[in-house]
Chain A
Amino acid sequence: MQTTEEYKITDALASFVEKWREKPGNLIMILHKAQDEYGFIPRKIAIELGRILDVPLAKIYGVITFYNFFKLEKPGKHNIQVCTGTACYLKGGIDIIEELEILLGTGINTVTDDGLFSIESVRCIGCCGLAPVLLIDGEVFGKLSKDDLPKIIADIRDR
């Protein structure tokens, strides 16, 4: 989905760039900050950063697309991250994703039409003792079963 929103370099990002400008190998740290600010890395921001740092856009996109963590598309307001590490996989992480797809009527790595939710499969988040787990807005829900999901979604929707 091509976004029509206008993105400008925020003050926080600008001062972060200034702080890191002279440090070698700063690109990934700056991209992290950019994603912190916007939830993803908008194309316009990538172009701007290239100009400010004097780095070719191709290099910036090379780095963004290499790493799983960086996003090029805006996630839903609540991004649901389902862990598919080994323990969660064994204990039904994939079933959780399938159930979420049914509940939200959207596929993995896409955003619901109202922009509220997106589903993402993520690598081990290190709560294997609670498998299967998912993360919504940084909050961890563990020892899940498919039946827990409607309530979780409803609670988040009401926030």
Chain B
Amino acid sequence: MATITLTDLKKLREDNKENENIQIIVGMGTCGIAAGANKTFDAFLDEIKVNNLKNITVKPTGCMGLCYVEPTITVKTSGQPDIIYGNVNNETARKIINEHIVEGKLVDGHIFENPAADIVNTENYDSDYKQFRIVLRNCGVIDPESIEEYIARDGYIGLEKALFEMSSDDILNEVKKSGLRGRGGAGFPTGFKWEFTKQIESDQKYIICNADEGDPGAYMDRATLEGDPHSVIEAMMIAGKCVCADKGVIYIRAEYPLAIERLEIAMAQSRELGLLGENILGTDFSFDLEIRLGAGAFVCGEETALLASVEGNRGMPIPKPPFPAVKGLFGKPTVINNVETFANIPVIITKGGAWFAKIGTEKSKGTKVFALTGKIKNSGLVEVPMGTTLRDIVFDIGGGIPNDKKFKAVQTGGPSGGVLTEAFLDTPIDFDSLVAVGSMMGSGGMIVMDEDDCMVDIAKFYLEFCVEESCGKCAPCRIGTKKIYELLDKISQGKGELSDLQKIKDMGAAMQKASLCGLGQTAPNPVLSVIKAFEEEVLEHINDKKCRAGKCKDLVTYTIDQENCIGCTVCARKCPVNCIEGAIKVAHKIDQSLCIKCGACFEVCKFDAVIVS
């Protein structure tokens, strides 16, 4: 196999820079495909064939971030601004070909503004855009299955510099200078992590990419791998050069088949060009990569549990120290970073640590990708500079709460984080400010809740998750999660007592102090933050046996307002247990002894006659 030289790589980059063709780029990440992007893609190809058009390229790309209007596409014509269309089904696709491409008219009603500036096109952060894409620089732009396109967008320049212009100390210095902190949740400075491993003499060292994105409600890493797999591969090689490791492992969730497939393709392409393997670009540096699949265990996001899993065992954590940086995979020094952290590295090496450090806040540099979901108009993937406020993300980028509902809270940090109320919306986001107000950055799930969501129910949801995901090794986590869950369940049934709250707080404090790993130490966070931020609502459940959101079924009664009911019978027909009595044009009644409180009558009534109390 002929491996390419530095000159070949540079030439490849220049050769692929220009594309005279009109390009139609279809967002084909998991969510795009779920929304029907495959059909859209085929419709474009077909309509181009029907019209016998030439010089048009239709190609797939990763997530553009506009998940709420999938399938999304971009039309690129050289010399003209890019046009982004959303909600592009088969019909709209054909319309875009006939009107936009053939007649040169824009197709109304489907155009969306480009939400972000990206680092390849913009030298510095431009405040015209709320979003700035470093990690997602290529997502939604390049075909993730084409190494040439990655290379053309400054891909593998970082590796070139690392191999030909920089010593391993230089690389480490740049990473340290950048101030990059681990994006997996804890925010540990990446440079220090690398330094620990670099300092140790060993015959074998490993670089591991943690792609076991287990936080429910977060999908940044999936989108990055599906949209730009080479960025992670390049970063792992740079890390390998820095700490003298020649083996890498990507530990990825088996639940992400598309990301795995694209990674495999990317690895094969890099190998074929000789960018992965022995003597890369003719130097004495060698590096190879392997994929290992996770199997659905949240605790495997914890470094030592992850190592156990890669070694083929039950994913249970062990006490630290020794840290994996010193004694990791198969007992050898190992650098473990997550996908988002790695995706920053090629840019830091290409542009310099000092450049990166200009973005963000004093102690948190760069950008953060959030998966903005829940009760939000524009749900999607957003990448913002550190220091952006929650209000900007939720109300400006996210467009606020749908259906004229009232904002209630935003949850960050998933099962390890907390809820933040309106009062904290102006907090500039960084690792430390979020902890200070009772939540944490976490891996980047950001879930918005409205007035219909019950905070006790949310706390119960996260606790239930932790009960199931606790590995069972240490007692504080195994017993604590279960006991707190039981107390919450009791409260949600209206059987709670005031003393239960103190019990939860005491047990939570014990878990935070005594659990073996991060999972147990942080598992009480969601419930403790709910008790603090929504004390009144929790007390209502206990004292008044009332759930204001109507979510805790045991505390809810459905009745029919005899004045408002016009006797349309819709609710009676919808009721799954036939407990609504009443004839046409006669006010209906619910038999409380049979009612299962499913809420079906409430949902279908058009006359506001079903009352939840």
Which chain A residues have a beta carbon within 8 Å of chain B's beta carbons?
Answer: 24-29, 31-32, 62-63, 66-70, 84-87, 89-91, 98, 102, 122-131, 133, 138, 140-142
A123 touches B34 (CB 8 A): no
Tell me if B371 is interfacial: C-beta within 8 Å of chain A: yes
Cα–Cα, bound, A125→B296 (Å): 11
CB distance from B425 to the nearest CB of A (A): 19
A128 touches B219 (CB 8 A): yes
A124 touches B218 (CB 8 A): yes
CB distance from B207 to the nearest CB of A (A): 16
Partner of A87, one of B70, B256, B373: B373
* 0/1 interface trace, chain B 430-448, chain A, CB 8 Å (1 if under): 0000000000000001010
B414 touches A69 (CB 8 A): no
* 10 tightest Cβ-Cβ pairs between the two chains A and B: A129-B67, A140-B34, A68-B296, A67-B295, A126-B219, A86-B217, A85-B216, A27-B312, A128-B373, A69-B296
Chain B residues 345 to 381 lying within 8 A of chain A, measured CB to CB, are 371, 373-375, 379-380
B312 touches A63 (CB 8 A): yes
B295 touches A32 (CB 8 A): yes
Known contacts A67-B295, A87-B447, A89-B461, A129 near B216 by CB under 8 Å: no
Cα–Cα, bound, A67→B296 (Å): 5
A70 touches B295 (CB 8 A): yes
A68 touches B295 (CB 8 A): yes
A123 touches B375 (CB 8 A): no
CB distance from A102 to the nearest CB of B (A): 7
B34 touches A124 (CB 8 A): no
A28 touches B449 (CB 8 A): no
Tell me if B392 is interfacial: C-beta within 8 Å of chain A: no
Chain B residues 25 to 58 lying within 8 A of chain A, measured CB to CB, are 30-31, 33-35
Q: Could you say which residues of chain A place their CB within 8 Å of the CB of B304? A: none
Cα–Cα, bound, A127→B381 (Å): 11
Cα–Cα, bound, A68→B379 (Å): 28
A67 touches B330 (CB 8 A): no
Cα–Cα, bound, A141→B30 (Å): 11
Q: Could you say which residues of chain B place their CB within 8 Å of the CB of A29? A: 292-293, 312
CB distance from B288 to the nearest CB of A (A): 13
Q: Could you say which residues of chain A place their CB within 8 Å of the CB of B310? A: 25
CB distance from B366 to the nearest CB of A (A): 23
A129 touches B31 (CB 8 A): yes
CB distance from A98 to the nearest CB of B (A): 8
Cα–Cα, bound, A128→B370 (Å): 12
Known contacts A69-B255, A87-B217, A89-B461, A24 near B312 by CB under 8 Å: yes
Partner of B30, one of A28, A70, A123, A140: A140
Tell me if B215 is interfacial: C-beta within 8 Å of chain A: yes
* 0/1 interface trace, chain B 63-78, chain A, CB 8 Å (1 if under): 0000110100000000
Partner of B297, one of A26, A66, A86, A141: A66
Tell me if B6 is interfacial: C-beta within 8 Å of chain A: no
* Known interface pairs A68-B295, A68-B297, A86-B414; 17 further A-B residue pairs with C-beta atoms within 8 A, sorted by A's residue number: A25-B310, A29-B292, A66-B315, A67-B295, A69-B294, A84-B216, A85-B216, A86-B447, A86-B462, A90-B449, A90-B453, A102-B576, A123-B255, A127-B30, A128-B373, A140-B31, A142-B35
B461 touches A131 (CB 8 A): no
Partner of A129, one of B214, B309, B380: B380
B217 touches A128 (CB 8 A): yes
Q: Could you say which residues of chain A place their CB within 8 Å of the CB of B214? A: 123-124
A130 touches B70 (CB 8 A): yes
A87 touches B31 (CB 8 A): no
Residue of B nearest to A81 (CB): B255
Number of A-B contacts (CB under 8 A): 138
Chain B residues 236 to 263 lying within 8 A of chain A, measured CB to CB, are 254-257
Tell me if B311 is interfacial: C-beta within 8 Å of chain A: yes
Known contacts A85-B217, A123-B216, A138-B257, A67 near B297 by CB under 8 Å: yes
Tell me if B503 is interfacial: C-beta within 8 Å of chain A: no
Cα–Cα, bound, A102→B574 (Å): 14
Q: Could you say which residues of chain B place their CB within 8 Å of the CB of A126? A: 30-31, 213, 218-219, 222-223, 255-256
Residue of A nearest to B255 (CB): A125
Cα–Cα, bound, A122→B298 (Å): 12
Q: Could you say which residues of chain B place their CB within 8 Å of the CB of A67? A: 294-297, 315
B219 touches A127 (CB 8 A): yes
A129 touches B70 (CB 8 A): yes
Name 12 A/B residue pairs within 8 A (Cβ), A-sorted.
Answer: A27-B312, A28-B295, A69-B294, A87-B373, A90-B458, A91-B375, A124-B216, A126-B31, A126-B219, A129-B70, A140-B30, A140-B33
Q: Could you say which residues of chain B place their CB within 8 Å of the CB of A68? A: 295-297
CB distance from A92 to the nearest CB of B (A): 10
* 0/1 interface trace, chain B 329-355, chain A, CB 8 Å (1 if under): 010000000000000000000000000
Q: Could you say which residues of chain A place their CB within 8 Å of the CB of B298? A: 123
A25 touches B292 (CB 8 A): yes
Tell me if B471 is interfacial: C-beta within 8 Å of chain A: yes
Tell me if B411 is interfacial: C-beta within 8 Å of chain A: yes
B295 touches A69 (CB 8 A): yes
CB distance from A29 to the nearest CB of B (A): 6
Q: Could you say which residues of chain B place their CB within 8 Å of the CB of A86? A: 216-217, 373-374, 411, 414, 445, 447, 461-462
CB distance from A31 to the nearest CB of B (A): 8
Q: Could you say which residues of chain A place their CB within 8 Å of the CB of B31? A: 126-127, 129-130, 140, 142
Q: Could you say which residues of chain A place their CB within 8 Å of the CB of B216? A: 84-87, 89, 123-124
* 0/1 interface trace, chain B 209-233, chain A, CB 8 Å (1 if under): 0000111111100110000000000
B34 touches A133 (CB 8 A): yes
CB distance from A24 to the nearest CB of B (A): 6
Cα–Cα, bound, A129→B69 (Å): 9
Cα–Cα, bound, A32→B256 (Å): 13
Partner of A32, one of B293, B313, B598: B293
Q: Could you say which residues of chain A place their CB within 8 Å of the CB of B218? A: 124, 126, 128
Q: Could you say which residues of chain B place their CB within 8 Å of the CB of A63? A: 312-314
CB distance from B510 to the nearest CB of A (A): 25
Cα–Cα, bound, A67→B219 (Å): 20
Q: Could you say which residues of chain B place their CB within 8 Å of the CB of A66? A: 297, 314-315, 471
Q: Could you say which residues of chain A place their CB within 8 Å of the CB of B373? A: 86-87, 128-129, 131
* 0/1 interface trace, chain B 565-606, chain A, CB 8 Å (1 if under): 000000000001000000000000000000000100000000
Cα–Cα, bound, A141→B67 (Å): 14
A24 touches B314 (CB 8 A): no
A87 touches B374 (CB 8 A): yes
CB distance from A128 to the nearest CB of B (A): 4
B312 touches A26 (CB 8 A): yes
Cα–Cα, bound, A24→B453 (Å): 47
Cα–Cα, bound, A127→B292 (Å): 23
B215 touches A25 (CB 8 A): no
Cα–Cα, bound, A65→B466 (Å): 17
